[in-house]
Chains A and B, each alone.
Chain A
Amino acid sequence: MIIDTNVYLSRWPFRRLNGDEPEWLVAKLIDAKVGQAWAGSFEGLLERDIAGVNTRLAETCHRFGEGMLIPFGTVNPKLPDWQEDVQRCHEEHTMLGIRLHPNYHGYKLDDPVFADLLKLAAERRLIVQLALSMEDARTQSPLMRVPAVDLAPLANVVKITAGLRLELLNCTSQIGREDYVAAIASGDVSMDISMVEGVAGLARLVRQVPLSRILFGSYYPFYYFESAVLKVQESGLDDASQEAICVENARRLIAFA
Chain B
Amino acid sequence: MLNRRTFMKTLGAGGALAFAKADVRDNHGLDASMRIWDQHSHLGSVPGDTPEERMGFLAKCMDRVGVERLILSQGYSDDRHPNPPEQFRLENDRVMRAVRAFPDRVYGSVYISPALPEFSIQELNRCVRDGPMVMIGEIEADARCNVAAMDPIAEWAIANDVVVLQHEWLNALGNQPTESTPFDVVELARRHPKLQIVCAHTGGNWELGIRAIRSTKNVYCGLAGSDPTNGYVEMAVRELGAERVIYGSDVGGRSFASQIAKVEGAAISDSDKKLILGGNLRRLLAPVLRKKDYKI
Interface residues of A (CB under 8 A from B): 1-2, 15-19, 31-33, 35-36, 135-142, 145, 195, 197-201, 220-236, 239, 242-243, 246-248, 251, 254-255
| B11, B172, B205, B267 interface centre (most CB from chain A within 10 Å) | B11
CB neighbours (8 Å) of B12 from chain A are: 1, 243, 247-248
Does any Cβ of A come within 8 Å of B224's Cβ? Answer: no
Residues of A with C-beta under 8 A to B17: 35-36, 251, 254
Return the chain A residue nearest B54 by Cβ. Answer: A199
Interface size on B, residues (CB 8 A): 57
Which residues of B lie under 8 Å from residue A201 when comparing CB positions? 255
B261 contacts chain A at the CB level, 8 A cutoff: yes
B residues contacting A by CB (< 8 A) are: 7, 9-13, 15-17, 19-29, 45-46, 57-58, 60-61, 64-65, 169, 171-173, 204-205, 207, 226-231, 234, 251-258, 260-262, 264-267
Query: B22 contacts which chain A residues (CB < 8 A)?
Result: 1, 33
Closest to A201 in B: B255
Q: Do A230 and B229 have beta carbons less than 8 Å apart?
A: no
CB neighbours (8 Å) of B65 from chain A are 230, 233-234
Is there an interface contact between B257 and A233, defined as CB atoms closer than 8 Å? yes
Residue in contact with B227 in the complex, picked from A2, A19, A139, A242, CB distance below 8 Å? A139
Contacting residue for A142 out of B20, B46, B172, CB 8 A: B172
Cα distance, A73 to B111, chains bound together (Å):
50
The residue among A1, A145, A221, A255 with the most chain B CB atoms within 10 A of its own CB is A1
Given A138-B169, A138-B205, A232-B9, 10 further pairs, Cβ under 8 A: A1-B19, A2-B11, A17-B231, A137-B173, A138-B204, A226-B264, A230-B255, A234-B256, A234-B257, A246-B24
* Chain A interface, DSSP helix/strand/loop, else mixed: mixed
Distance of A33 Cα from B18 Cα, bound (Å) = 14
- Selected from A1, A230, A255, the residue in CB contact (under 8 A) with B261 is A230
Main secondary structure of the interface of B (DSSP, over half): loop
* B45 close to A136 (CB less than 8 A): no
Closest Cβ–Cβ distance, residue B5 to chain A (whole Å): 12
Closest to A200 in B: B61
Which one of B16, B27, B57, B172 has the highest number of Cβ atoms from chain A below 10 Å of its Cβ?
A: B172
In whole angstroms, how far apart are the Cα atoms of A17 and B251 in the complex? 26
Alpha-carbon distance A220/B227, docked complex (angstroms): 12
> In this complex, what residue of A is CB-closest to B46?
A199
Residues of A within 8 A of B205 (CB): 138-139
Min Cβ gap B93→A in Å is 22
A230-B261, A239-B10 in contact; A197/B229 too (CB < 8 A)? no
Report Cα–Cα, A245/B266, bound state, in Å.
25
Candidates A32, A135, A227, A246; contact of B257 at CB < 8 Å = A227
Q: Is the CB of A199 within 8 A of B252?
A: yes
Closest residue of chain A to B257, judged by CB? A230
Some 29 contacts from A to B, beta carbons below 8 A apart, are A15-B230, A17-B231, A31-B27, A32-B28, A33-B24, A35-B19, A35-B20, A36-B19, A138-B173, A138-B205, A139-B226, A141-B172, A142-B172, A197-B254, A201-B255, A223-B228, A223-B258, A223-B261, A224-B265, A224-B266, A226-B228, A227-B258, A230-B65, A232-B9, A234-B64, A235-B64, A236-B61, A243-B10, A243-B11
